Chains A and B, each alone.
Chain A
Amino acid sequence: MADEFRFPVEATHVLFFRRAVGYADAETSSAVPPTFPIAAAQFDPAYPLRPKPGEKWFGSGKEASGGASPRVAEGPPPLHAEQHFEYHRPIRIGETLTVTSEPGKTWEREGRAGTLKFAERITRYRDEDGADVVTGRSVSVQVFPKEAP
């Protein structure tokens, strides 16, 4: 994720997101859904889970995979374990938010499947006056399987 980027909140993007999460009135209301901040990924120039021209993609083409997952230097690909949002005020269509992101805590524990390594990331969404609009906290987990005895 880039350290900082701009997230224009646009009507068509909100419409497509409202459709995807099943709003019956997706076309007639312009309220921004509670989890819409996650879609800032569309505007993150360094977002790793979007194919980019001229770069190898780890999903299938001729082969089942085009290479290693780009998100981690080593270990299995992370899964999304938790997501939290704190809303300071509603997001409105037409505004442009500034998104900043930084790593948070890391911890690990032993689970049935092996060692679980957790990593937190804090994302702040601020408005044009620099005021907080939403604060996000995501937790990802990598599962390192137990070694065969």
Chain B
Amino acid sequence: MNAGDTHETVLVDDLTRTQIVQYAGASGDYNPLHSDEPFVTEIAGYPTVFAHGMLTMGMAGRALAEWLGDDALRSFGVRFTKQVWPGDTLTARFVVDAVEDGSAQISVSVTNGAGDEVLAGSATAAA
């Protein structure tokens, strides 16, 4: 792995409400914001349900593991910068910023179909 290496991959094409529910069940985060249309629209004031930030991070983590190997990560941290909605197509872009002392610094960005960044962060991995 070298500085400047880039990896881009589609995390999900046309995110479904069912995958959001599947993530709720697996993670244990049953916040009604992610599955409960009457609550979300009438109480919380959003147009519809939206994905857990952790679902986007989980898919990005999966893509990092697929790219670098299952046990390569030393750290992984993100900010959730925009909501992810049913129907979104998400693309992750990973860039190796530096490699030193056997460790790679990687920047992480996930964008939606409109090109807006929904997640931004970084990871370090064994290089």
B-contacting residues, A14-43, CB 8 Å: 16-23, 29, 31, 33-35, 38-39, 41-42
Given A21-B62, A22-B62, A85-B75, A39 and B27 touching (CB < 8 A)?
yes
Q: Can you list 24 residue pairs at the A/B interface with Cβ under 8 Å? A: A16-B26, A17-B26, A19-B22, A20-B23, A20-B55, A21-B58, A21-B59, A23-B62, A23-B66, A33-B62, A34-B76, A35-B57, A38-B29, A41-B28, A41-B29, A49-B31, A50-B30, A60-B39, A60-B43, A64-B42, A65-B42, A82-B80, A90-B71, A137-B77
The count of chain B contact residues (Cβ–Cβ below 8 Å) is: 43
A99 CA / B2 CA spacing, docked (Å): 36
The count of chain A contact residues (Cβ–Cβ below 8 Å) is: 41
A51 CA / B75 CA spacing, docked (Å): 32
Q: Are the CB atoms of A34 and B28 closer together than 8 Å?
A: no
Name B residues whose Cβ lies closer than 8 Å to a Cβ of A: 11-12, 19, 22-23, 25-33, 36-39, 42-44, 52-55, 57-59, 61-62, 64-66, 70-71, 73-80
Nearest opposing residue in chain B for A43, CB measure: B28
Which 3 A-B pairs give the minimum distances between C-beta atoms? A59-B32, A84-B77, A34-B61
